[in-house]
Chains A and B, each alone.
Chain A
Amino acid sequence: MKLIKYLLIVAYVGVLVSCSASAPPKELNNARQAYQQASMGQAAKLVPAELHKAQVALAVAEQSFKDDPDSYKTKDLAYVADRKSKMAEGLAHSAAEKAATEKANNDFQATQTEILKDTKEDLAASEKDAMLKAEKLASEKKARLDAEAALAKLAAVKEEERGLVITLSGSVLFASDKSVLLPAAQDRLNQVSEALLAAKERKLTVEGHTDSQGTSNYNQQLSLDRANAVRSYIISRGYPSDLIYAQGIGEDRPVADNNSAEGRANNRRVEIVIDRTGK
């Protein structure tokens, strides 16, 4: 009986000993887990050679476990295999980060090139726009100068603070005491209108002036009627009506002595003032 009990105890202990001997050390468990994690991540794609090294290291550790399960050698080889898998994973992360850096640098370069191209195009467009504006301004200036030169040939033209003043003699335009344009006056006004139309964006003021003969009120009305007659005629030649005004000054602004016939003739006049400031 004692012998049977003894044999059972020996068998039980034997089973326990054999079970504990075959259990892998924690280093090997860690190594297996680390390799599994690495092989399921980016390592297989990005650093296959490093993953292979980890696999080989794990195989060596597994073989050592089979040969000598409890040895320090098995534990150390498993420990190293665990680190090899972690290295493969770390190198895979690095490779992914490097790829991201390269892509970002390429994007940076491409974006810079695109910005440079856009800037050049914008600059070229601005330069073209500026050139067109300069050409337009030059053209407008030339038209104005040509118009002024043409006007200078037709009538007295002088530069004053209020603008360019074209003076037409009253005796050329109207019969004495009348506000109807003479036929000869129409030819002259045709030429003046033509010159004015070359720069028709300017505001015009047509002023009628008389000598001091007659009453002031009468002269005021006569000068206004004459200014209106000239205004209507210029409008009929194509000048925009909203840019031309008529004003009767009467005898209030003589340019010569009203006591002489020559002076009075000079005072009877129509002045067309071209505003310098435009519309």
Chain B
Amino acid sequence: MKHIKKAMLAVLVLFAAAFAGCGGSPEAINQEASTSAIRAAQEVGASEVPSASLYLQLAEEELEKAKVLAANGNKEQAESMLLRAQADAELAIILSHGDADKTEATAALERVKTLRQDNN
């Protein structure tokens, strides 16, 4: 009799677990790569660079979408969305660096021009 009770309890636990899974409980997704990329984009000042700020914003929105998808149990779709977030954040970083490179090149050319003007 005891054995039967134990078996029934185990079956109940399993059912409960299965029921909870079907109800869309949050699933763990690996957001590390996209989160790191977004943080890096923020640190290089992407939000202050006109050409990069849009992509940073998209990346942040996509990260939030991925979290919602994961919370609804759509793990695969969430992970796919994270790829978008990571790509946008990486693009924001590259465009921010590009802006800095352009500024540096302009300054270097100006220095040469000034030097030549001052010595003519």
Given contacts A90-B91, A90-B98, contact A72 B80 (CB under 8 A): yes
* B94 x A90 contact (CB < 8 A): yes
Q: A90-B95, A97-B98, A115-B119 are in contact. List 4 more A-B contacts (CB 8 A).
A: A72-B80, A90-B98, A100-B108, A104-B109
> Which residues of A are found within 8 Å of B94, using beta-carbon distances?
87, 90-91, 94
> Is B105 an interface residue, CB under 8 A from the partner?
yes
What are 7 pairs between A and B in contact, CB < 8 Å? Answer: A72-B80, A80-B83, A83-B91, A84-B87, A97-B98, A104-B105, A108-B111
* B116 x A93 contact (CB < 8 A): no
Q: For the complex formed, measure the closest distance between the CB of A138 and the CB atoms of chain B, giving whole angstroms.
A: 35
Once the chains are docked, how many angstroms separate the CA of A72 from the CA of B79?
Answer: 11
Interface, chain A (partner B; CB < 8 A): 72-73, 76-77, 79-80, 83-84, 86-87, 90-91, 93-94, 97-98, 100-101, 104-105, 107-108, 111-112, 115
Given contacts A87-B94, A90-B98, contact A97 B104 (CB under 8 A): yes
Give the residue name and chain of the B residue nearest to A79 (CB).
B84
**Count class of interface residues, chain B:** 20 to 34
Once the chains are docked, how many angstroms separate the CA of A101 from the CA of B112?
Answer: 11
Once the chains are docked, how many angstroms separate the CA of A108 from the CA of B95?
Answer: 27
CB < 8 Å: which of A79, A86, A97, A112 contacts B101?
A97
* A104 x B111 contact (CB < 8 A): yes
Q: For the complex formed, measure the closest distance between the CB of A91 and the CB atoms of chain B, giving whole angstroms.
A: 6
Number of A-B contacts (CB under 8 A): 72
* B105 x A76 contact (CB < 8 A): no
Residue interface mask B63-96, A partner, CB < 8 A = 1: 0000000000000110011011001101100110
* A87 x B115 contact (CB < 8 A): no
Give the residue name and chain of the B residue nearest to A57 (CB).
B87
* B87 x A98 contact (CB < 8 A): no
Q: For the complex formed, measure the closest distance between the CB of A246 and the CB atoms of chain B, giving whole angstroms.
A: 56
Give the residue name and chain of the A residue nearest to B110 (CB).
A104
* A112 x B83 contact (CB < 8 A): no
CB < 8 Å: which of A76, A98, A111 contacts B115?
A111
CB < 8 Å: which of A86, A94, A97, A105 contacts B91?
A86
> Which residues of B are found within 8 Å of A83, using beta-carbon distances?
55, 84, 87-88, 90-91
Q: For the complex formed, measure the closest distance between the CB of B56 and the CB atoms of chain A, giving whole angstroms.
A: 13
> Is B97 an interface residue, CB under 8 A from the partner?
yes
CB < 8 Å: which of B55, B83, B90, B95 contacts A76?
B83
> Which residues of B are found within 8 Å of A86, using beta-carbon distances?
91
* A94 x B101 contact (CB < 8 A): yes
Most chain B beta carbons < 10 A, residue from A83, A91, A100, A105: A83
Given contacts A86-B91, A98-B105, contact A104 B112 (CB under 8 A): yes
> Which residues of B are found within 8 Å of A87, using beta-carbon distances?
87, 90-91, 94
